[in-house]
Amino acid sequence: MEKVKTFFSMIKIEHSLFALPFAFTGALLAAEGIPSLWKIFWIFVAMVNARTIAMGLNRVVDAEIDSKNPRTADREIPAGKISKKKALLYIVLSLFIYEVATYQLNMLCFILSPVPLIVFVVYSYSKRFTSLCHIILGVALGLAPIGAWVAIKGTVNLGIVLLGIAVLLWVAGFDIIYALQDLDFDKNYGLFSVPAKLGIKNSILISRLFHLTAFIIFAYLKVYFGLGILYIAGVILCGLFMLYEHSLIKSDDLSRVNMAFFNINAYISITIFVFVFLDFLMRGMI
């Protein structure tokens, strides 16, 4: 149990707050209300295990790099708290549970289940060859609402793809902010990132443009899905969170990057879900 606890610490299980609320938002929109408990349960199982695979794989692949970076040298694998072999064992177990979950949802989910896995593998190696690594991470999380929609509907439509793109841009934007901490290390070690390629000021500008575009798409989804005023209130609140997030980041002061990365962005994903739920509730759809 201690090793399992260490593994959960390694994969930052609390960061599920980024993708899981968007998955449930996709499920709400697809069902136009609350899906069956069966669907909710298997979406939850699939999401948690998919994220476990992604984060675990990333930690295993980056173990050597993490050991050389002072910011990440105390992570579980470099610090010797868990071996690569044990981490891979948990990843394989999560992979099995993930595939069972997608099969329980519907056949299209099961057929498409390798797609996120391919994205996870590409992302884990992406900093070695492209500064678009932030976009690839965004794709990984942007698949969450799309996957949940497929789980309910067995189809894909433009609206849910737009939500996935909004999530992609939101994630890429805050990941660029997070990567500011490793700018010097990435340059010295020959790794690729937007900050390493374009510098602090340009990276902050790109992050802001990504978040502005994400905000516009979130707002447009009100029209596409016929959502009401409560949803718009939630989008405005998310916009204020984004403004506050960017107010914490200065080109000459990166001391509050971690607060901007986790606290604020967890609020954003939860807010979208809660206000979609409240909007449906107010209109008698729940």
- As a whole number of angstroms, the distance between CA 76 and CA 10 comes to 6
User: Using one digit for the tens of pLDDT, what is the confidence trace for 164-193?
Assistant: 999 999 999 999 999 999 999 999 999 999
| 3 vs 26, more confident | 26
pLDDT at 261: 67
Amino acid found at 234? G
Rounded to an integer, the average pLDDT of 263-276 is 92
- As a whole number of angstroms, the distance between CA 256 and CA 274 comes to 27
pLDDT band at residue 6, thresholds of 50, 70 and 90? confident
pLDDT(15) > 90: no
pLDDT band at residue 121, thresholds of 50, 70 and 90? very high
pLDDT(198) > 80: yes
3-state secondary structure the chain: CHHHHHHHHHCCHHHHHHHHHHHHHHHHHHHCCCCCHHHHHHHHHHHHHHHHHHHHHHHHHCHHHHHHCCCCCCCCCCCCCCCHHHHHHHHHHHHHHHHHHHHHHCHHHHHHCHHHHHHHHHHHHHCCCCCCHHHHHHHHHHHHHHHHHHHHHCCCCHHHHHHHHHHHHHHHHHHHHHHHHHHHHHHHHCCCCHHHHHHHHHHHHHHHHHHHHHHHHHHHHHHHCCCCHHHHHHHHHHHHHHHHHHHCCECCECCCHHHHHHHHHHHHHHHHHHHHHHHHHHCCCC
pLDDT at 260: 65
Rounded to an integer, the average pLDDT of 120-136 is 97
Q: CA dihedral defined by 32, 36, 42, 44, rounded to 10 degrees?
A: 60
Rounded to an integer, the average pLDDT of 222-251 is 94
pLDDT at 283: 83
pLDDT(225) > 70: yes
pLDDT at 41: 98
pLDDT(286) > 90: no
pLDDT at 165: 98
Phi-psi region of 9 (alpha: psi -120 to 50; beta: other; left: phi over 0): alpha
Instruction: Look over the chain and give the mean of its residue pLDDT values, rounded to a whole number.
Output: 93
pLDDT at 257: 79
Percent of the chain with pLDDT over 90: 82
pLDDT(266) > 80: yes
pLDDT at 212: 98
